Amino acid sequence: MVAVAVIGAGIAGLTVTAELAALGHDIFLFDKSRSVGGRCATRRSAVGAFDHGAPGFSATTAAFRAQVAAWRHGGWVGAGSEGDALARHEAPQHSTPSPIYGVPSMNALARQLEAQLPARVTLHTDSQVTAIEPVSEGEGWQLRLSDGIACTARFDAIVVTVPAEQAALLLAPDAAQAEAMRHTRSDPCWTVMAAWARPRPAVLETSLSIDAQRVLLMARRDDVRQGRTHEAGIANRWVLHATPQWTVEHLDAPAETVTAELLRAFARLLGTALEAPLHAVAHRWRYAQVRAPRSEPFGWHPALRLGSCGDAWHAHGDPGSTSPDGIERAWLSGRALAQQMHQTLSPL
């Protein structure tokens, strides 16, 4: 039995944790946030919940399709476009349709995965890891947390599942993995969550309208999918995602400016003036989607017992199928790393 620390409890972290625990290892899962899910995110508010991170996902490989079928059987995911995406720009790196979604929210899928973790998994939320440090030669690892305190536990192996740009720093003990992550870039995404009291005009079918200014990547009605709640006095909720290019150009703009610009772009898309929303909040995803994932399925240094997985890895799917998108890559990568680790790990 081996003690493994997994850093990051998004889809990749939850997957590698579940697989390793099922193989008999003790897992200590750390996440800097209050709860699990990472970019598979849902923001709760007085006007209802918004899936403001990944709006959904696709399943291109046989392995992930089988997993999704099991999740669907359990009622954890639904599928179908249901006309909720008003417009999605042609953006080659993000053009895969994402018809599968969490029920009753995107984050609920991650919470279901968390709920299934066996007792041998210990979850530490609100725990930001700032460094991975050797205990002493060949004696395993310890973690340093953001409060400056070293976590006194000794781990036989470490897995890093945080976004590539942040993983590059944590993976410093292995120059090759750190370098691989340093060269992986993610696009940022400004996102606006907005709600109106009165229904929008009848524009809910997938529309061919394109925002000529290239501000919006996607405008998506968020309250029409299976399991979504309906708050009294709220007719509809929308999530607006800016294009990567617009986000880069406005990365440090104030949130109020971004909200106003995205709402203006939404009105242009609808071809109508918009009344003021009852609720409009912007969120900046600094690392939303990986631009060019690595072709390897994961990173793993068997002598150091230091690995990494997540959406920065596993660019290739099954032969002849389209490339997997972010959530599928995170799952495939987490699963593949767990299998590799199990073959090579024995207690120190």
Ligand X SMILES: Cc1cc2nc3c(=O)[nH]c(=O)nc-3n(C[C@H](O)[C@H](O)[C@H](O)COP(=O)(O)OP(=O)(O)OC[C@H]3O[C@@H](n4cnc5c(N)ncnc54)[C@H](O)[C@@H]3O)c2cc1C
Size (the chain), residues: 348
**267 token code pair:** 């009105």
Please identify, using beta-carbon distances, which residue of 86 and 330 lies nearer to ligand X: 330
Please identify, using beta-carbon distances, which residue of 18 and 199 lies nearer to ligand X: 18
- Rounded to a whole number of angstroms, the minimum distance from the CB of residue 8 to ligand X is 3
Short-list 231, 209, 265, 248, CA closest to 85: 209
- Rounded to a whole number of angstroms, the minimum distance from the CB of residue 244 to ligand X is 10
Please identify, using beta-carbon distances, which residue of 126 and 275 lies nearer to ligand X: 126
The residues that touch ligand X, with contacts defined as CB under 6 A, are: 7-13, 30-33, 38-40, 53-57, 98, 128-129, 161-163, 166, 189, 191, 241, 285, 288-289, 310-311, 325-328, 330
Which residues does 199 contact at the CB level (< 8 Å), separation at least 6? 235, 236
Evaluate the omega torsion of the peptide bond into residue 104 and state whether it is cis, within 30 degrees of 0: yes
Please identify, using beta-carbon distances, which residue of 197 and 339 lies nearer to ligand X: 339
Q: Assess contact for 79 and 343: CB atoms under 8 A.
A: no
- Rounded to a whole number of angstroms, the minimum distance from the CB of residue 137 to ligand X is 25
Please identify, using beta-carbon distances, which residue of 32 and 237 lies nearer to ligand X: 32
DSSP letter, residue 216? E
- Rounded to a whole number of angstroms, the minimum distance from the CB of residue 272 to ligand X is 25
Please identify, using beta-carbon distances, which residue of 25 and 88 lies nearer to ligand X: 88
- Rounded to a whole number of angstroms, the minimum distance from the CB of residue 251 to ligand X is 14
Please identify, using beta-carbon distances, which residue of 1 and 66 lies nearer to ligand X: 66
Strands 279-290 and 186-196: antiparallel
- Rounded to a whole number of angstroms, the minimum distance from the CB of residue 275 to ligand X is 26
Dihedral angle over CA of 238, 240, 241, 243, nearest 10 = 150
Strands in the chain per DSSP E? 3-7, 26-30, 77-79, 85-88, 100-102, 121-124, 129-134, 141-145, 150-155, 157-160, 186-196, 216-221, 236-242, 279-290, 299-301, 306-308
- Rounded to a whole number of angstroms, the minimum distance from the CB of residue 324 to ligand X is 8
Taking phi over 0 as left and psi of -120 to 50 as alpha, with beta for the rest, 119 belongs to alpha
